[in-house]
Amino acid sequence: MNQKILLNSTEIHIILHRLACQLIENHDDFSNTVLIGLQPRGIFLAERLTEILKNEYSIKNIKSGTLDITFYRDDFRRRDEPLEANKTNIDFTIENKNVVFIDDVLYSGRSIRAALSAIQSFGRPTKIELLVLIDRRFSRHLPIQPNYKGRQIDVINNEKVIVKWKEQEGEDIIYLIKND
Amino acid sequence: MSQLSVQHLLGIKYLTKNDIELIFQTADHFKEVLNRPIKKVPSLRDITIANLFFENSTRTKLSFELAEKRLSADIINFSASQSSVKKGETLIDTVNNILSMKVDIIVMRHPNVGAGVFLSQHVDAKIINAGDGTHEHPTQALLDSYSIRERLGNVKDKKVVIVGDILHSRVALSNIFALKLQGAEVKVCGPTTLIPKHIASLGVTVETNLKKALEWCDVANVLRVQHERMDVSYFPSTREYTQLFGINKQILDSLGKKIVIMHPGPINRGVEITSDVADSNQSIILNQVENGVAIRMAIIYLLAQQIKR
């Protein structure tokens, strides 16, 4: 197994601020926008972006929630490991809102497909956008593309992208791991 | 811990503590789903479930049906009164005929003890026991414990008294297994004629004085007297039963503490419980019904997960 640092903590810091600014550019004061972190790994990115928008760009009243897609996945009963559900927490309406899905890595696009189905149980948003930290662009199984991306990378299928967060794993760092 | 240790849900006695915890955690997620504007998930789109009710049921049947529909399963219903069972068909033949129509899961209520276990040994489908005679009613016990956990935070170390017709009650037996497994203390209370002889061997205590039992407990699970299963008289009159074992406001007010009141339904108002108690804020009877759907969704989901195509 060989591992390479894809992004260090300074680079991640810069990227998060850029993504926050891009969101402000399109969503102004966020009065009609909600951020939805996708479980399990997208919630840390969503929390971090919400913090930056609140503390550094003084945007108050940002609504952010978490969405679990387990029950909407297309690989139920098709994998060896059982699926484990996580918490969904959307305590606001999404009807006629702009929804921004937030996830750490965009790979096959299947999670996003499931999220698009799942979010409909909560109402009909005006628009849905996708923000990802890492876009593995040549790995898509479905016609899904991000609206905002931290870094686009070209990796092959046996390579794995691991995103670690300070709150969870002690440091902000992204590795590219190659199995020999 | 994300898989059940069992292949079927035949009774609580086959489950482990971890199984119960997994079912509760999964039910928590489904409870959230049930509070959404659209209360349906597509997980079981390619699963077909047959509900076989060889004995009458209102709430359990509706609850299972709703749980299955909320998971997007296809369902077929069958009740013995309108079937070929009356024409002499055996249980295995009936079920195998249904299975040849490509059914994956069978939910069965049957008047005979052990019908679920018997079926699980002879047919190739997941079996969920929705009540077998006077034996077990596992989904009811799970939703009862889940409701206690929801109201009191935990089942462990709670004192639960089961009041009423223990002898004929599958709810009582499943509840005893489930509560003991989770570390609760259990007492049964009722006329001595309606308490099975060797019940203490299950680790429960017996009390025939209702007031004493209620003073001891945190939760009282009140059962109906099952006249339909009685071939002889077990107590002199319903009136006397109500006087000695009926739960009313006066007796609850005299306790000096607020206990939680449960009932698996159907209620005989004015017999085992008065209306003011059943409808009071101490009662979680309707929460039990609501939680029943989430618990049954969790069980069906977890068993369906084991079916590989």
pLDDT of residue B83: 64
* Same-domain check for residues B99 and B146: no
pLDDT of residue B58: 84
Question: Do B12 and B142 touch, CB atoms closer than 8 A?
Answer: yes
In a domain, A163, yes or no: no
- Cβ contacts below 8 Å, chain A against chain B, sum to 48
Which chain B residue is nearest to residue A93, measuring alpha carbons?
B37
Total domain count for chain A? 1
Judged by average pLDDT, the poorest of B87-91, B138-142, B247-251 is B87-91
Q: What residues in chain A have per-residue pLDDT under 70? A: 180
CATH number of domain containing B261: 3.40.50.1370
In a domain, A160, yes or no: no
Residues of B in contact with A78 (CB under 8 A): 309
In a domain, B83, yes or no: yes
pLDDT of residue B203: 95
pLDDT of residue B136: 95
Judged by average pLDDT, the poorest of B140-149, B158-167, B186-195, B232-241 is B232-241
Question: Do B278 and B267 touch, CB atoms closer than 8 A?
Answer: yes
What are the residues facing A177 on neighbouring strands?
A: A3, A160
In a domain, A127, yes or no: yes
Q: Is B18 in CB contact (< 8 Å) with chain A?
A: no
Q: Is A70 in CB contact (< 8 Å) with chain B?
A: yes
Residues of A in contact with B43 (CB under 8 A): 71-72, 76
In a domain, A35, yes or no: yes
Which chain A residue is nearest to residue B39, measuring alpha carbons?
A121
Question: Nearest Cα to A58, choosing from A102, A28, A98?
Answer: A28
Total domain count for chain B? 2
Confidence band of B10 (pLDDT split at 50, 70, 90): very high
The pLDDT tens digits for B76-111 are 998 877 666 667 788 888 888 888 888 999 999 999
**Can you give the residue range of the structural domain that contains B247?**
138-284
pLDDT of residue B157: 95
A121 and B40 within 8 Å at the Cβ level: the answer is: yes
B72 pLDDT above the threshold of 70: yes
Task: Measure in Å the smallest separation between the Cα of B24 and chain A Cα atoms.
Answer: 12
Q: Is B112 in CB contact (< 8 Å) with chain A?
A: no
In a domain, A177, yes or no: no
pLDDT of residue B82: 64
Give the C-alpha separation, B234 to B276, whole Å. 27
Give the C-alpha separation, A54 to A59, whole Å. 5
Token readout for B141 is 């016990």
Question: Nearest Cα to A134, choosing from A112, A113, A154?
Answer: A154
Judged by average pLDDT, the poorest of B9-13, B52-56, B299-303 is B52-56
Give the Å distances, CA to CA, from B241 to A96, B156, B198, B223, B244: 59, 31, 22, 12, 5
Give the C-alpha separation, B105 to B98, whole Å. 11
In a domain, B237, yes or no: yes
In a domain, B5, yes or no: no
pLDDT, averaged across chain A? 92
B221 pLDDT above the threshold of 70: yes
* Same-domain check for residues B155 and B106: no
Task: Measure in Å the smallest separation between the Cα of A13 and chain B Cα atoms.
Answer: 34
pLDDT of residue B243: 93
CA angle B172, B178, B182 (to 5 degrees): 140
B213 pLDDT above the threshold of 70: yes
pLDDT of residue B84: 62
A68 and B26 within 8 Å at the Cβ level: the answer is: no
The amino acid that residue A83 corresponds to is L
In a domain, B221, yes or no: yes
B27 pLDDT above the threshold of 90: yes
The pLDDT tens digits for A36-59 are 999 999 999 999 999 999 999 999
* Same-domain check for residues B99 and B150: no
**Can you give the residue range of the structural domain that contains A86?**
9-154
Residues of A in contact with B29 (CB under 8 A): 68, 70-71, 85-88
In a domain, A113, yes or no: yes
* Same-domain check for residues B176 and B97: no
* Same-domain check for residues B299 and B273: no
Strand ranges (E), A91-158: 98-106, 127-136, 148-153
In a domain, A68, yes or no: yes
Mean pLDDT, range B259-283, rounded to an integer? 94
* Same-domain check for residues B162 and B265: yes
Mean pLDDT, range B111-137, rounded to an integer? 93
pLDDT of residue B1: 56
In a domain, B234, yes or no: yes
* Same-domain check for residues B142 and B17: no
The pLDDT tens digits for A164-179 are 999 889 999 999 998 7
Confidence band of B286 (pLDDT split at 50, 70, 90): very high
The interface predicted TM-score of the complex, written ipTM, equals 0.84
Give the Å distances, CA to CA, from A132 to A117, B126, B151, B188: 18, 41, 40, 57
CATH number of domain containing A76: 3.40.50.2020
In a domain, A174, yes or no: no
